[in-house]
Amino acid sequence: MDEDSRDERYELVIVSNRLPVDRVAGDDGEASWRPSPGGLVAALEPVMRQEDGVWIGWAGVADEVIEPFEADGISLIPVPLSEQEIEEYYEGFSNDTLWPLYHDVIAPPSYHREWWDAYLRVNRRFADAAARASAPGAVVWVHDYQLQLVPALLREARPDLVIGFFNHIPFPPYGIYSQLPWRRQIIDGLLGADVIGFQRVADAGNFSRAVRRLKGFETRGPIIEVPIESDDPASGSHRHVTSNKHGGLVRTVLARQFPISIDTQKYQDLASRPEIQERARQIREDLGNPKTIMLGVDRLDYTKGIGHRLKAFGELLAEDKISVDDVTLVQVASPSRERVETYRLLRDEIELTVGRINGDYSSISHTAIAYLHHGYPREEMVALYLAADVMLVTALRDGMNLVAKEYVASRVDEDGVLVLSEFAGASDELRQALLINPHDIEGLKEAMLAAIAMPRRERARRMRALRKRVITNDVARWSASFLDALTRSAHGDHPLQNP
Ligand code: G6P
């Protein structure tokens, strides 16, 4: 990498905690790259393939300074994190403070002042990297809860930039959010953006309410009026500055929902490939050709309601409503945040439950639950989706849940039943799924039985309607509508109406 390319400036800059690839050290000491986990990367990768920009993020390893490089045609700029920053900023503040707080305190959040200091320090580093990589007037799109301070830090350094922020996870109701000792700093950080995107209408509403309560700023529908001081660098750029009804100078910020999606066509293409369909048949056979295969696919996270799903499944077996000869549950639980205590405890709990159910109900020829603690390539996931008669998404709280959309996109045969938690953002759009409240175990059991017994015609009717949604609202549409709102805001035009 020579000096010139290191100093390259881009018109579109994506900033997220993770890069789309993680660096891994092999047994032979050789470093290689593998796809990163999670929905954020899955959604942004196709966007970056279309656009000529750069992606700034962490490569998943400690204490390594890695030069900018290209992976699969995407330009990447790695941001280094030290071992201590991984503990305090990533595992600590991001995943043991913000993650549980923003997911309805399903697990108790921990508040530590050193973690906050590390969060601020690392957010500064990301903002500096973005400021360096951005051409004059460039569009910078910052992602997710790990980087909420970046918009304001970036605006301060580079008032010429057009800054967008998208929150991939829920934004909690004020009664929960207000626990956060740094609640004002986070709001100030986010308000540095021109457009702030959320998954659901409710998330955007929760954010606006927090802004009103904590800052006293006025909001008009999705528009937030941020008063500016005359010495504010933004006051020089007339881009966002107008006067409010009291005659004061304000910057306007748009905060509204932009529900994220998937590369639907890619899933349809994979699902149409003969070798993947053959693999789906093989999976069925390997499981002993049960009448019904149920499937759960999640990062091993306490927000996903895996325990609730297992409980319902175990009770159906105990009550003889289903038998292992007829029904198998395949649970893919991909490893996640394994050094965070809550995740360690969750893994023990889930594996104990799986072991108990299998011990109690499996026979020599049929295993009740095929439990897989791995991540799989997309091809294998699509084969699993095709093999699964019933998909179980039982999240207790989830920003969107892209697995639900992947399942629907993969069912080119217009078959399969989606059981979907109303606490996942996807339930706003996927209304023809069997919608459930995962806390209501009886209701969940009834939905599982209804899914097993659903006649082919009804399955097809529901799946057709679900597919229509996911085909129309794909990830390209999501990013286009966000970037369109962002460019319009650069011209002082905040559309009030929904796209
Ligand atoms: C969710 C978050 C992402 C995160 C992903 C994987 O999808 O919204 O920001 O990257 O989980 O989690 P991890 O901690 O491994 O990055």
Q: What pLDDT sits at residue 50?
A: 76
pLDDT > 70: percent of the chain: 95
User: Sign of the C-alpha dihedral, residues 65, 68, 70, 75?
Assistant: positive
Q: Please state the rounded mean pLDDT for residues 272-291.
A: 98
Q: Where are the alpha helices (DSSP H) in 78-218?
A: 83-85, 99-102, 113-133, 150-157, 174-177, 183-190, 201-215
Ligand 1 pocket, residue 18 CB under 6 Å: yes
Cα-to-chain-centroid distance, residue 121: 24
With bands split at pLDDT 50, 70 and 90, how would you rate the model's confidence at 358? very high
In contact, 296 and 307? CB cutoff 8 Å: no
Q: How far is the CA of 25 from the centre of ligand 1 (A)?
A: 21
The SS3 of residue 185 is: helix
Whose C-alpha lies nearest to ligand 1, atom 1?
38
Ligand 1 pocket, residue 240 CB under 6 Å: no
Ligand 1 pocket, residue 169 CB under 6 Å: yes
Measured distance between the N- and C-terminal CA atoms of the chain, rounded to whole angstroms: 42
HEC string for 422-465: CCEHHHHCCCCCEEECCCCHHHHHHHHHHHHHCCHHHHHHHHHH
Whose C-alpha lies nearest to ligand 1, atom 11?
38
Q: What pLDDT sits at residue 32?
A: 87
Backbone torsions φ then ψ of 367, nearest 5 degrees: -95, 135
Q: Is the pLDDT of residue 65 over 80?
A: yes
Q: Is the pLDDT of residue 338 over 90?
A: yes
Ligand 1 pocket, residue 123 CB under 6 Å: no
Q: Is the pLDDT of residue 495 over 80?
A: no
Ligand 1 pocket, residue 402 CB under 6 Å: no
Q: What pLDDT sits at residue 237?
A: 56
Q: Please state the rounded mean pLDDT for residues 123-147.
A: 97
Q: What pLDDT sits at residue 248?
A: 85
Report d(CA 194, CA 490) in Å as an integer. Answer: 8
Ligand 1 pocket, residue 39 CB under 6 Å: yes
Q: How far is the CA of 499 from the centre of ligand 1 (A)?
A: 27
- Write the pLDDT tens digit of every residue in 220-269: 999 999 998 766 655 555 466 788 888 889 999 999 999 999 999 999 99
Q: Where are the alpha helices (DSSP H) in 319-425?
A: 341-361, 378-387, 402-410
Q: What pLDDT sits at residue 240?
A: 66
**Closest ligand 1 atom number to CA of residue 95:** 14
Ligand 1 pocket, residue 35 CB under 6 Å: no
Ligand 1 pocket, residue 350 CB under 6 Å: no
Q: What pLDDT sits at residue 2?
A: 43
Report d(CA 209, CA 216) in Å as an integer. Answer: 10
Q: Is the pLDDT of residue 157 over 90?
A: yes
Whose C-alpha lies nearest to ligand 1, atom 6?
38
Q: How far is the CA of 168 from the centre of ligand 1 (A)?
A: 9
**Which has more pLDDT, 482 or 72?**
482
One DSSP character per residue, 222-260 reads: TEEEEE--TTSHHHHSTTSEEE-TTS-EEEEEEEEE---
Q: Is the pLDDT of residue 151 over 90?
A: yes
Contacts of 205 (CB under 8 A, 6+ apart): none
Ligand 1 pocket, residue 94 CB under 6 Å: no
Report d(CA 343, CA 295) in Å as an integer. Answer: 21
> Domains in the chain, ordered, with CATH?
10-257 (3.40.50.2000), 264-472 (3.40.50.2000)
When the pLDDT of each residue in the chain is averaged and rounded to a whole number, the result is 94
> Looking at the DSSP assignment, which residues form a beta bridge with residue 195?
164, 254
Q: Please state the rounded mean pLDDT for residues 388-408.
A: 98
Token pair for residue 23?
Answer: 């660096």
**CB-count burial class (<10 Å; 0-12, 13-18, 19+) for 228:** middle
Report d(CA 391, CA 368) in Å as an integer. Answer: 16
**Closest ligand 1 atom number to CA of residue 169:** 8
Ligand 1 pocket, residue 42 CB under 6 Å: no
One DSSP character per residue, 101-138 reads: HHTTTSSPPP--HHHHHHHHHHHHHHHHHHHHHEEEEE
Report d(CA 422, CA 64) in Å as an integer. Answer: 41
In contact, 59 and 22? CB cutoff 8 Å: yes
- The interface predicted TM-score (ipTM) is 0.98
Alpha carbons within 13 angstroms on the beta-carbon side of residue 120 total 10
Report d(CA 421, CA 435) in Å as an integer. Answer: 6
- Write the pLDDT tens digit of every residue in 22-59: 988 887 878 888 888 877 888 888 888 777 799 999 99
Q: Please state the rounded mean pLDDT for residues 474-491.
A: 92
How far CA 309 is from CA of 228, 245, 448, in Å, comes to 50, 52, 10
Q: Please state the rounded mean pLDDT for residues 395-404.
A: 98
**Closest ligand 1 atom number to CA of residue 39:** 7
The SS3 of residue 195 is: strand
How far CA 367 is from CA of 242, 324, 341, 363, 380, in Å, comes to 65, 7, 30, 6, 20
With bands split at pLDDT 50, 70 and 90, how would you rate the model's confidence at 462? very high
Q: How far is the CA of 234 from the centre of ligand 1 (A)?
A: 32
Whose C-alpha lies nearest to ligand 1, atom 10?
38
Q: In which residue are the tokens 């403070």 written?
A: 97
Whose C-alpha lies nearest to ligand 1, atom 5?
38
pLDDT > 90: percent of the chain: 84
Ligand 1 pocket, residue 298 CB under 6 Å: no
With bands split at pLDDT 50, 70 and 90, how would you rate the model's confidence at 499? very low
